[in-house]
Amino acid sequence: MPDHDILPETFRASRFTGFRTLFYKEVLRFWKVNFQTVAAPVLNALLFLLIFSHVLDRSVTVYGDVPYTAFLVPGLIMMSLLQNAFANTSSSLIQSKITGNIIFILLAPLSCRVFYAAYVLAAVLRGLFVAIGVFLMAVFFIDLPLAQPVWIFAFGILGGALLATFGIIAGIWAEKFDQLAAFQNFLIMPLTMLSGVFYSIHSLPPLWQKISHANPFFYMIDGFRYGFFGQSDTSPWLSFAVISACFAALAVLTLTMLKRGYKLRA
């Protein structure tokens, strides 16, 4: 067989091996400290559930007949998934940059798409582990319907991929841990808390309802919640379209940064 037929096949095999190795490295990185990366976020979500359900469950109902505790659980699951997907990619990149071992990844014959896919899929996997943990703990307190499981899966995967992508951008841009913390504390956390995790936006004044519709996190939370109850504050198709557009834009931006080696190559 001619060499020009062999080399592409060899390259594709090596590219898959590189993806598998980098993906395994990223999964192993968070799983080796799973008590901190998986168990701790599950506990935090459980504390939110216990406190808010104890205070508000008897006085608040949503969508007419949905108990507040049941309403709260999908929001907590999605919030935990999103925050941990972001944390996985951003912390991995900033640690690699500060310790200097990012050079070993950059020297490997990996394309920017392979690099991106390995980091994002590992982050989504961590987010799913946390989300499943929160769900399993929550079912001890409340019976949750699963009206549209396909929507649950779709928004979980897409939302996790979106935040993982944003985590790569933050990890590439940040040069110190305090810069990365600014992303978490002044952007991710406020947008998450103001996205309808703890309330329906229909309970807000009209101005704040309009502001909430400008928050992409609202569409992730609302679409994910629709998968449980078959009810939501806006159409799940609209939510999916908004999140898909945001993900596509961030993915293009991230791949461009990786291709140019922005703040990665000396």
Q: Mean of the pLDDT values across residues 92-115?
A: 90
Residue 66 host element (H or E): strand 66-67
Of residues 48 and 11, the one with the higher pLDDT is 48
Exposure class string for 228-246: b at 16+ Cβ within 10 A, else e: bbebbbbebeebbebbeeb
Q: Are 22 and 118 contacting, i.e. CB atoms less than 8 angstroms apart? A: yes
Of residues 89 and 67, the one with the higher pLDDT is 89
Backbone angles phi, psi at 66, to 5 degrees: -85, 120
Looking at residue 198, what is its pLDDT?
A: 86
pLDDT of residue 7 exceeding 50: no
pLDDT of residue 245 exceeding 90: yes
pTM of this prediction exceeds 0.95: no
pLDDT of residue 57 exceeding 80: no
**Percent of the chain residues past pLDDT 70, beyond the cut:** 91
CA Rg value for the chain? 20
Q: Are 129 and 156 contacting, i.e. CB atoms less than 8 angstroms apart? A: no
Looking at residue 68, what is its pLDDT?
A: 82
pLDDT of residue 13 exceeding 80: no
